[in-house]
């Protein structure tokens, strides 16, 4: 014990004399925690120093004690704490050099869980009384704020007992704070005061003053700010304080009005957002007195705005203000402030709506719309005031541009009111006249008018009760007429959109009116032009979203295919293809129900049947359009989209039917059963139908098992390796790959792949083999299938691909193959087809193989190098940007090399890969700027247009490099860009103009 | 602030023209030369921003396609612009920004002539004289402050166009 106290005395001595710092504190803390001595003994040991006549010595003494306390405040007993607090409070009155340490000690003590009752109040009292916070240093001020926060959290009720004195003390200590870090703390305290119901007493205004003097916050953090405080943080922290209580209203609102006059954009924006925030808290009586002032400022902001952000913030503020006013419960003696406000708005905006030529129509309309969206009452009021005059004007004006503007304004008013769910629509009173306007506009000949009126019609249709049954029918008639008569592509697009939207809500009218009419038109023979039929088909596709409509429309489209096949309808090839696209679109948008599933389940056999008939006839002379490759390729997505969405029962059925058709020639499920019984679809003559098989089996959900898998795979492999018809062997390879991708991992799969790989290798290795291309195609697709699912064997296959890059015959194809490997293919092996696609397979492939590629490039002879460059640029092009940026420094020399490669394909691909990177240049690029500028400028005179365009885009991107870097090149670039300005292709010229203007 | 400006006047031709042009490019690729035409010049200047409003010249009807004259063979370009009001103080600035834009975007062989649509501005002659005077234009562009304002008008059009 004696030894301990001697040690302690020694420690204290050393610390106070300044010989030791951290170590003394650590030792003391350690011993104290270990229970070797108590805090009391420490104080006793310090005794002499704490009472020394030298302030410095006293300071060191207190510092040691405070430092120790900071470490072990948790171990103190209540009595100890009480004594220490009294001591520290006393020390606050001491010499100023001691104060920082005292505050540190107090902060440690406030963290004690055993803080005796009443001490919180006394600490604060002495703090507020004895020190002037703002004359302290930064760290000590922060300490004081932390003490406040700590006490507010642990001793809330005691502090509230202090009443307004607490607020006053806070106000005094914060007044004049400048450091953003401390301000965040101060705002935090203020927020607590405001939100947790501390008594503000008569100090409301003071509290407001002391915080609002920072509004609006203008803070730009120093460049290398280690604290990471943003303006945004400060703004939000302050906003929460200011908008916290309605009691600030009388001070805040004038301040906002004043700050809205500011020229600084951010100040305006902040004021508007603060106004929006407070309007959602305040009540009408807080606002009432300031309404005219607020409105004047808001109106000015929206009417004369220079930036969209200010405008939309202003509109939002108007909206919340209105909503706030609408919430108010009226007393009998107060006037309705909502009415007052709306009066103001209407007075200033309404008359602008009567001048549809002038600029202010739009801001006025937007303001009115913002108020009317805010509440039901407001919308009632505004609609009643505005709509009649708009409608009347529409009817009296004759110029199309004016009428169109009026329609657009009307549409704006129709939209927002959707928010009032239960109340009957405000627009009900104007239903009749609105409808008649729409229909009269629809029958105008002006395209813009038609388009706008269709938008309005759609908006009306979205609301219940605004379109009666008869109106819908009339609308459908109009739409049908427009489809048949209007050739303007913009109008047709709008018709299709509008019809699609309405058909979802009112299918019946479309079934009874539109579908039969369109059908009639489609089959009416050659009287109408092709374009009309095309539009009919597109419209049919657009309206088919409800099962009932799908049931009506798909037979029509299928019938087109049939009659095209038999040659009765005189449908051209493009029409057949567009019909296929429409069917695909229907399959995509149809709601996923049992019913539609059933409809499409029947579509597949019919398509297969048609294709088969065509194929069989094809061999006997008559040539049906269905036989064309383009048509078949267009049929594939119909089948695949359908299959991907089939429920599992139907899916299983479809799979087994399709497989038995292709393997065994089982035609029994096809309609119009008139096929020869023994047909072999996977044999040469009808082989191109295999793409339909691919669409079917490769897109089924993974849970559905494909029957006779082994046999199917075997046949597909055979076909893909022997057939000499490109579509057939490619489809077979794709189909094979799609199945391999989904089949379960295991030995069966491994041996299968082994077998295939062997076969491919044999074919590829014999230079004279006639089917090398076929073998390569199969290799490529299987590699992709395995790569996507991270199969361990995929490396073997991709290595094979790499080795092919130097192949004299296939090298070029192989290089292009890498783009296929890295990109998503639309018809198979993608997520839509339920394929097994792991995330980030591209990155993985890249990291595993980029080294090989570079090696191969370096080893290759000069003529072969371009193949590697091409492969590289394909791979890099498909990588996500993040990876591109990190990998770029290593690859840059190669890519720059690629720019000077004579192959134009490589040039385009490299440029298009560089361009996005240039938009956000990494530092590695800047060091290479000289070469980069030189090479790209050289390419601007390339004979190929695409290269010229791509290089000009790169140069455009280069202009965003740091000013000092590009300055030396400016004159050179400008001179060089003068040449493409006179290019003979307009597209090139416009790119050059854009780039040159930037430079 | 009661509407000194015209309502935005979206040009329905824009869309069609762009489509047409793309097709030419694809169809006839390298061999056919597209001459520089009115439309192309108009495309260059229509998206310049007005110095006062956040609207483009096209929206304010300051420039119109019919008021653009191009002769590719003779290497001349003529643009007439219409200030929104007869006393518009910005007329010179508008003309200057059109001129600068064209100088930067057209091959050097062209002679560029920018002037006010006859009868639409109070001090038409003065402004026209200023704009036609090569040296005054050059001098104006030496003035860094003025250049800044002109660039401001031109900058935002790169974003939209």
User: Mean of the pLDDT values across residues B9-16?
Assistant: 29
Interchain pair B25, A990: CB under 8 A:
no
- Does residue A668 belong to the interface with chain B, where contact is any CB pair within 8 Å? no
The verdict on residue B80 lying in a domain is yes
Choosing among B3, B41, B60, B75, which should be mutated to test the A contact, i.e. which has the most A CBs within 10 A?
Answer: B3
Distance CA B97, CA B49 (A): 9
DSSP strand pairing (B111-116 vs B76-81): parallel
Residue B82 domain flag: yes
A993 in contact with B at a CB cutoff of 8 Å? Answer: yes
Q: Do A304 and B1 touch (CB under 8 A)?
A: yes
Under 8 Å between Cβ of A480 and A513? yes
Contact B82, B47 (CB under 8 A): no
> How many angstroms separate the CA of residue B106 from the nearest CA in chain A?
6
Confirm or reject contact between B9 and chain A (CB < 8 A). Answer: yes
Chain A residues within an 8 Å CB radius of B154: 997
Q: pLDDT, tens digit, for every residue of B106-124?
A: 887 888 888 888 877 778 8
Q: From the list A982, A986, A997, which residue is nearest B21 (CB)?
A: A986
pLDDT at A330: 60
Chain A residue closest in CA terms to B6: A358
| Token couple for A621 | 């002379």
Residues linked to residue B112 through DSSP beta bridges, in sequence order: B77
Rounded to whole angstroms, the Cα distance separating A835 from A823 reads: 14
Print the domain residue range for B89: 38-154
B2 and A360 within 8 Å at the Cβ level: the answer is yes
Mean confidence (pLDDT) of chain A: 77
- Asked if residue B4 is part of any domain, the answer here is no
Output the domain CATH number for residue B50.
Answer: 3.30.300.130
pLDDT < 50: residue spans in chain A: 1, 418-420
Q: Which residue, among A449, A514, A523, A517, has the nearest Cα to A488 in the 3D structure?
A: A449
Cα dist from B120 to A993, B70, B78, B82, B95, whole Å: 30, 22, 17, 6, 14
Provide the whole-model pTM. 0.67
Residue B119 included in any domain: yes
Beta carbons of B104 and A996 less than 8 Å apart: yes
Q: For B7, what's the count of Cα atoms within 13 Å in the CB-facing half-sphere?
A: 17
Q: Does residue B140 form part of some domain?
A: yes
Shortest CA gap A235–chain B (Å): 27
Residue A297 CA to residue A314 CA, distance in Å, equals 9
In chain B, % of residues over pLDDT 70:
71
How close does chain B come to A990, measured CA to CA in Å? 8
The number of helices, as runs of H, and strands, as runs of E, in chain A is 51, 0
Nearest chain B residue to A405 by CA distance is B7
Q: Do B101 and A997 touch (CB under 8 A)?
A: yes
SS (H, E, C) A564-600: HHHCCCCCCHHHHHHHHHHHHHHHHHCCCCHHHHHHH
Rounded Cα gap, residues A258 and A322, in angstroms:
21
Note the pLDDT of residue A528: 57
Domain count, chain B: 1
Cis peptide before A216 (omega within 30 of 0): yes
State yes or no: pLDDT of B159 exceeds 60. no
For chain A, what is the largest distance between any 2 Cα atoms, rounded to a whole number of angstroms? 121
Closest alpha carbon to A248 in A217, A307, A280, A207: A207
Contacts of B28 in chain A (CB under 8 A): none
Taking the Cβ of residue B107 and every Cβ of chain A, the question of whether any pair is shorter than 8 Å is answered with yes
Return the residue of A nearest to B48 by Cα: A997
Quick check: is B59 in a domain? yes
State yes or no: cis peptide before A937, omega within 30 of 0.
Answer: no
Which two structure tokens, joined as six digits, stand for A890?
A: 């290593």
Q: With contact defined as beta carbons under 8 Å apart, do A272 and A317 qualify?
A: yes
Q: Is B25 close to A996, i.e. CB distance below 8 A? A: no
User: Given CB atoms, is B109 within the 8 Å cutoff of chain A?
Assistant: yes
Contacting residues of B for A989, CB less than 8 Å apart: 36, 40
Q: What is the pLDDT of residue B89?
A: 73
> So what's the pLDDT on residue A535?
81
In a mutational test of the B interface, the residue from A309, A399, A986 whose CB has the highest number of chain B CBs within 10 Å is A986
The pLDDT score that the predictor gives to residue A681 is 58
CB interface of A with B, residues 970-989, below 8 Å: 978, 981-982, 984-987, 989
Any chain A CB within 8 A of the CB of B93?
no
Six token digits for residue A630 = 């383009």
pLDDT in tens, A935-947: 777 777 777 777 7
Is residue B3 in a domain?
Answer: no
Q: What pLDDT score was predicted for residue A686?
A: 61
Residue B4: which pLDDT band, with cuts at 50, 70 and 90? very low
Q: Do B5 and A359 touch (CB under 8 A)?
A: yes
DSSP assignment letter at B34: P
Residue B104 maps to a domain: yes
Show Cβ contacts of residue A858 under 8 Å, excluding neighbours closer than 6 positions. Answer: none
User: Residue B44 is encoded by which pair of tokens?
Assistant: 């260059």
A945 touches chain B (CB under 8 A): yes
Q: Which residue of B has its CA nearest to A979?
A: B107
Whether the per-residue pLDDT at B30 is higher than 80: the answer is no
List chain A residues with CB under 8 Å of B30. Answer: 943-945, 985
Find out whether A905 and A886 touch, Cβ atoms under 8 Å. Answer: no
Of chain B residues 131-160, which have a CB less than 8 A from chain A? 154, 158
State how far the Cα of A316 lies from the Cα of A369, in Å rounded to an integer.
Answer: 11
């Amino acid at each position: 014990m004696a030894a301990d106290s001697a040690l302690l005395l020694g420690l204290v001595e050393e610390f106070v004399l300044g010989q030791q710092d951290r170590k003394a504190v650590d030792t003391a803390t350690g011993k104290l925690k270990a229970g070797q001595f108590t805090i009391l003994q420490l104080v006793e040991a310090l005794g002499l120093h704490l009472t020394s006549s030298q302030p410095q010595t006293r300071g060191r003494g207190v510092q040691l004690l405070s430092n120790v306390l900071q470490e072990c405040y948790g171990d103190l007993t209540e009595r100890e704490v009480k004594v220490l607090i009294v001591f520290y409070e006393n020390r606050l009155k001491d010499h100023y050099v001691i104060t920082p340490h005292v505050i540190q000690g107090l902060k440690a003590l406030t963290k004690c869980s055993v803080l005796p009752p009443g001490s919180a109040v006394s600490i604060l009292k002495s703090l507020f009384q004895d020190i002037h916070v703002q004359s302290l240093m930064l760290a000590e001020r922060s300490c004081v704020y932390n003490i406040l926060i700590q006490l507010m959290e642990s001793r809330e009720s005691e502090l509230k007992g202090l009443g307004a004195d607490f607020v006053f003390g806070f106000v005094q200590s914060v007044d004049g704070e400048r450091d953003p870090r401390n301000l965040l703390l101060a705002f935090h305290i203020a927020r607590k005061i405001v939100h947790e119901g501390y008594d503000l007493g008569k100090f409301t205004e003071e509290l407001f003053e002391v915080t609002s003097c920072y509004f609006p916050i203008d803070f730009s953090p120093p460049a290398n700010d280690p604290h990471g405080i943003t303006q945004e943080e400060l703004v939000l922290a302050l906003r929460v304080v200011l908008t916290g209580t309605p009691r600030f209203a009388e001070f805040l609102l004038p301040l906002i009005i004043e700050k809205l006059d500011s020229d600084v954009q951010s100040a305006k924006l902040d004021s508007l957002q603060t106004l929006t925030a407070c309007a959602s808290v305040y009540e009408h009586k807080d606002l009432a007195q300031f309404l005219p002032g607020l409105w004047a400022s808001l109106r000015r902001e929206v009417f004369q705005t220079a930036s969209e952000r200010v405008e939309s913030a202003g509109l939002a503020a108007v909206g919340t203000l209105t909503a706030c006013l609408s919430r108010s419960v009226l007393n009998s003696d107060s006037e309705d402030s909502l009415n007052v406000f709306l009066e103001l708005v209407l007075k200033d905006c309404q008359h602008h709506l009567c001048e549809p030529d002038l600029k202010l129509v739009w801001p006025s309309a937007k303001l009115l719309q913002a108020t009317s969206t805010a509440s039901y009452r407001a919308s009632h009021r505004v609609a009643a005031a505005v709509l009649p005059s708009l409608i009347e004007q529409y009817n009296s004006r004759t110029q199309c541009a004016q009428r169109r503007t009026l329609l657009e304004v009307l549409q704006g008013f129709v939209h927002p009111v959707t928010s009032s769910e239960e109340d009957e629509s405000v627009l009900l009173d104007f239903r009749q006249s609105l409808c008649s306007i729409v229909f009269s506009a629809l029958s105008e000949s002006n395209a813009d008018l038609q388009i706008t009126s269709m938008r309005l019609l759609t908006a009306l249709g979205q609301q219940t009760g605004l379109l009666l049954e008869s109106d819908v029918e009339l609308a459908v008639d109009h739409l049908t007429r427009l489809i048949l008569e209007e050739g303007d592509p913009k109008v047709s697009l709008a018709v299709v959109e509008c019809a699609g939207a309405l058909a979802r809500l009112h299918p019946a009218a479309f079934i009874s009116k539109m579908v039969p009419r369109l059908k009639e038109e489609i089959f009416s023979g050659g009287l109408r032009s092709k374009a009309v039929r095309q539009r009919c088909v597109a419209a049919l596709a657009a309206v088919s979203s409800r099962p009932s409509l799908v049931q009506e429309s798909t037979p029509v489209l299928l019938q087109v295919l049939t009659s095209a096949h038999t040659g009765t309808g005189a449908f051209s090839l493009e029409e057949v293809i567009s019909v296929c696209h429409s069917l695909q679109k229907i399959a995509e948008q149809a709601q996923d129900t049992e019913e539609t599933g059933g409809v499409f389940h029947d579509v597949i056999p019919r398509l297969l049947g048609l294709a088969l008939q065509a194929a069989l006839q094809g061999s006997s002379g008559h040539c049906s359009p269905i036989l064309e490759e383009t048509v078949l390729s267009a049929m594939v997505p119909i089948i695949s989209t359908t299959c991907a969405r089939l429920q599992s029962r139907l899916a299983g059925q479809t799979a087994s039917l399709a497989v038995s058709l292709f393997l065994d020639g089982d035609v029994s499920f096809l309609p119009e059963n008139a096929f020869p019984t023994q047909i072999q679809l996977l044999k040469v003559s009808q082989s191109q139908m295999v793409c339909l098989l691919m669409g079917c089996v490769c897109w089924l959900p993974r849970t559905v098992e494909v029957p006779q898998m082994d046999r199917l795979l075997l046949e597909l492999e055979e076909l893909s390796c022997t057939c000499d018809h490109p579509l057939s062997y490619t489809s077979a390879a794709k189909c094979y790959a799609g199945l391999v991708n989904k089949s379960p991992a295991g030995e069966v799969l491994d041996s299968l792949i082994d077998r295939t790989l062997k076969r491919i290798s044999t074919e590829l290795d014999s230079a004279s083999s006639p089917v090398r291309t076929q073998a390569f195609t199969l290799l490529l697709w299987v590699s992709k299938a395995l790569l996507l699912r991270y199969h361990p064997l995929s490396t073997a296959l991709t290595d094979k691909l790499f080795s092919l890059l130097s192949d004299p015959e296939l090298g070029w194809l192989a290089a292009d193959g890498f783009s296929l490997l890295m990109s998503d293919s639309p018809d198979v092996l993608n997520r839509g087809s339920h394929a097994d696609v792991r995330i980030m397979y591209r990155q993985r492939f890249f990291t595993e193989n980029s080294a090989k590629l570079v090696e191969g490039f370096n080893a290759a002879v000069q003529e072969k190098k371009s193949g590697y460059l091409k492969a590289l640029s394909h791979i890099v092009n498909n990588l996500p940007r993040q990876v591109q940026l990190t990998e770029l420094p290593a690859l840059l020399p190669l890519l720059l090399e690629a720019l000077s490669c004579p192959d134009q394909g490589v040039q385009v691909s490299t440029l298009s890969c560089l361009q996005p990177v240039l938009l956000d240049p990494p530092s590695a690029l800047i060091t290479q700027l000289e070469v980069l500028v030189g090479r790209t400028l050289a390419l601007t005179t390339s004979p190929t247009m695409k290269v010229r365009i791509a290089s000009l885009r790169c140069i455009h991107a280069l202009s965003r490099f740091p000013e000092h870097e590009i300055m030396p090149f400016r004159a050179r670039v400008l001179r060089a860009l003068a040449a493409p300005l006179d290019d003979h292709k307009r597209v090139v010229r416009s790119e050059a103009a854009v780039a040159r203007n930037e430079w | 602030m009661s509407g000194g400006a015209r309502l935005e006047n979206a040009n329905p031709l824009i869309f069609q023209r762009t489509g047409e042009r793309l097709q030419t490019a694809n169809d006839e690729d390298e061999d056919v030369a597209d001459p520089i035409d009115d439309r192309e010049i108009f495309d260059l200047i229509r998206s310049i921003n007005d110095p006062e409003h956040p609207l483009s010249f096209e929206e304010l009807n300051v420039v119109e396609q019919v008021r653009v004259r191009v002769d590719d063979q003779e290497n001349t370009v003529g643009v007439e612009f219409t200030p929104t009001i007869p006393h518009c103080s910005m007329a010179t600035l508008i003309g200057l920004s059109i001129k600068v834009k064209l100088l930067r975007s057209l091959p050097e062989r062209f002679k560029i002539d920018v002037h006010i649509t006859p009868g639409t501005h109070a001090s038409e002659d003065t402004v026209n004289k200023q704009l036609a005077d090569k040296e005054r234009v050059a001098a104006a562009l030496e003035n860094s402050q003025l250049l800044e304002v002109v660039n401001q008008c031109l900058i935002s059009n790169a974003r939209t166009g």
